[in-house]
A and B are shown apart, each in its own frame.
Chain A
Amino acid sequence: MPLDDKTTAPDDVLLRAYARGEGRAAEILTARLLPRVYAHALRLLGDVTEAEDVAQDAMMRLWRTAPAWRAGEAKVTTWLYRVTANLCIDRLRRRRQVPLDGIDEPADARPSAAAQMQQRSRLAALQHGLNALPDRQRQAIVLRHMEGLSNTRIAEIMDIGPRAVESLIARGKRALVARFAGRREELGYEDDTD
């Protein structure tokens, strides 16, 4: 099957094409999957450098497993989410402490960039809150609210039941709400209509 920039072939088809030696398949898979893998790692780790290492490692494992990939089994994205999370959790366990300063500080203080700064501040505060959660709660929340996955998909990735997923998410979000309770202004909770 010829590959071009607009191919809509499923991930597993492209992966098997790569395993047969079609380099173009690797380009398409990288463009399609690497941003998601990196973003997921960044949200789980809260550190740009480590997320970069994990993303490259996860993709390398994908290339390595390509010859053995069987059609119709797990989705490539499910497999990648799982591998990425495992790599992140391994790093976090080695670290034993998630850094609170892994997010870049906004460097532009011009009035025209004020809204951008506020957004960065809010998102940095959110990441710090996520960093403070237990690994599995953070993973479940990121998969649901940032990757947009269903409980069923999350359960498959995390190898737990859907009810356990709901419980992790509920506990994690309650912890975040408690953490942000005294920081409404910082998080921009005070909107213009108040």
Chain B
Amino acid sequence: MTPTEIEEMDKLDKLLEEAAHAPVDLPPGLAARVLQDASAMSPTARQRPKLSLVSRISSALGGWPALGGLAAASCAGFWIGFSPPAGMPDAGAFLLGEEEVTLDDSLAELSGFGWDMEEG
């Protein structure tokens, strides 16, 4: 570089240094907005109670008291199917491959689960 160019470069360096030390004021409200963002995105803010599928269904049906009756009826039907009264096909054993069951045209498989009990 020529002496003039060196001198010009020195002056530019001083100007850059002056700019580096010039205070830069934050715009009003910027820090507050950044902190609001931090708060909104913090792990504690993002935690929501996670409801299981059962809890969500339960609350939709009216809570555990309502589910209790439904559960009882389901268990009764299952038990009847799993361990049917004498003379009725044992669907449970059939499914487990322990028994051959001949299904006739009647609704035997349905009666094994108590579904026909609601029929009139």
Contacts and interface: CB of A to CB of B under 8 A. Distances in A.
Size band of the interface chain A makes with B: 35 or more
A26 B16 CA distance: 32
Interface of A: 18-21, 23, 26-27, 30-31, 34-35, 38-39, 42-43, 48, 52, 55-56, 59-60, 63-64, 67, 119, 122-123, 126-127, 141, 145-148, 173, 176-177, 180-181, 187, 189
Chain A interface secondary structure, helix, strand, loop or mixed?
A: helix
A2 to B, nearest CB: 18
B51 interface: no
A95 B38 CA distance: 29
A151 to B, nearest CB: 16
Given A38-B24, A180-B12, A187-B11, 20 more contacts: A18-B42, A23-B42, A26-B39, A35-B26, A38-B27, A52-B27, A55-B34, A59-B38, A60-B41, A63-B37, A64-B41, A119-B18, A122-B15, A126-B16, A141-B16, A145-B19, A145-B20, A146-B19, A173-B12, A177-B9
A187 B26 CA distance: 25
Q: Is the interface of B mostly helix, strand, loop or mixed?
A: helix
B35 interface: yes
21 contacts: A20-B43, A26-B39, A34-B30, A38-B24, A38-B30, A52-B30, A56-B30, A60-B34, A63-B42, A119-B18, A122-B15, A123-B18, A145-B13, A145-B17, A145-B19, A146-B19, A177-B5, A177-B8, A180-B12, A187-B11, A189-B11
Interface residues of B, number: 28
Nearest to B39: A23
B33 interface: yes
A146 B30 CA distance: 22
Contacts of B44: 21
A176 B37 contact: no
Given A67-B43, A177-B5, A18 B11 contact: no
Contacts, number: 90
Contacts of B86: none
Contacts of B16: 126, 141, 145-146
A59 B19 contact: no
B31 interface: yes
B41 A63 contact: yes
B27 A187 contact: no
Nearest to A43: B19
Given A21-B44, A181-B8, A26 B38 contact: yes
